[in-house]
Homo-oligomer: A and B are copies of this chain.
Amino acid sequence: MTETTAKTLSSTQRAVHELRGLIFRGELPAGSDHLEAELAQRFGMSRTPVREAALILESQGLVELRPRKGVRVLPVSSDDMREIYDVLTELESLAAGQAAQQSYAAKDLQQLEAAINDMDRAIASDDLEAWADADDRFHTELVRLGNNSRIETIVAMMRDQVRRARALTLFMRPLPTQSNEDHRLVFEAIKNGDPAAAHDIHKIHRQKAKTMLLALLEKHRLTLI
């Protein structure tokens, strides 16, 4: 997501990147097992960096290392999704409230507003991918403004998981027009320095999203990703 200087990427970093990519693009389906040696060959490196990457992704909840079974891509059940959304909801709302306490200048909120406008545009042109992208940017920026690096890290991890589910459900749900009204209200609350409003509106927003996603997952029996 956020590029650093990125001069020479270490093999381990590359492995993390590649593995994540494979998982998010669905090329390694949930529940599938992959031997370290196999992945190493695929990435053109030795087992060591693959193993290190697997350990890192394991502590982020994306995979699991099982002796002799290889690296297992963790499935995400609808119950997992409930857990994840509950954490997301709580921490993002906290961030929203705290963002509203920081008395940001208008220019500090440009990114946030831009994301909202992009979403409007995407909805108008019926571009769901673009909408999803802008939605991500909105939430990332919202959390950043909350000024708590732990929340940023945790939410980024949780959002990774949600992204996997959303890829499946994006095309089966109503156009998210209502959604953007919520975003704008949160934005206004932050601009006006109203923490309670920012918190509460965002919380309800996330709870609606959770209910909708879980209903879709249940309806279509999408236990995996």
Listed in ascending order, the chain A residues whose CB lies under 8 Å from chain B are: 51-52, 55-56, 59-61, 83-84, 86-87, 90-91, 94, 98, 148-151, 153-154, 158
Residues of B within 8 A of A94 (CB): 86-87, 90
A148:B55 contact, CB within 8 angstroms: no
Please measure, in the bound complex, the distance between the C-alpha atom of A53 and the C-alpha atom of B20, giving whole angstroms.
21
A83:B148 contact, CB within 8 angstroms: yes
Contacts A51-B52, A90-B91 given; 7 further ones with Cβ under 8 A?
A86-B94, A86-B150, A86-B151, A87-B91, A87-B148, A90-B94, A150-B158
A87:B158 contact, CB within 8 angstroms: no
Please measure, in the bound complex, the distance between the C-alpha atom of A84 and the C-alpha atom of B56, giving whole angstroms.
21
Instruction: Find the B residue at minimum CB distance from A60.
Output: B59
Instruction: Find the B residue at minimum CB distance from A158.
Output: B150
Q: How far in angstroms is the closest Cβ of chain B from A165?
A: 14
A83:B154 contact, CB within 8 angstroms: no
Please measure, in the bound complex, the distance between the C-alpha atom of A52 and the C-alpha atom of B84, giving whole angstroms.
27
Residues of B within 8 A of A86 (CB): 94, 98, 148, 150-151
Residues of B within 8 A of A154 (CB): 87, 154
Please measure, in the bound complex, the distance between the C-alpha atom of A84 and the C-alpha atom of B61, giving whole angstroms.
20
Residues of B within 8 A of A151 (CB): 83, 86-87
Please measure, in the bound complex, the distance between the C-alpha atom of A74 and the C-alpha atom of B192, giving whole angstroms.
37
Residues of B within 8 A of A84 (CB): 150
Q: How far in angstroms is the closest Cβ of chain B from A68?
A: 13
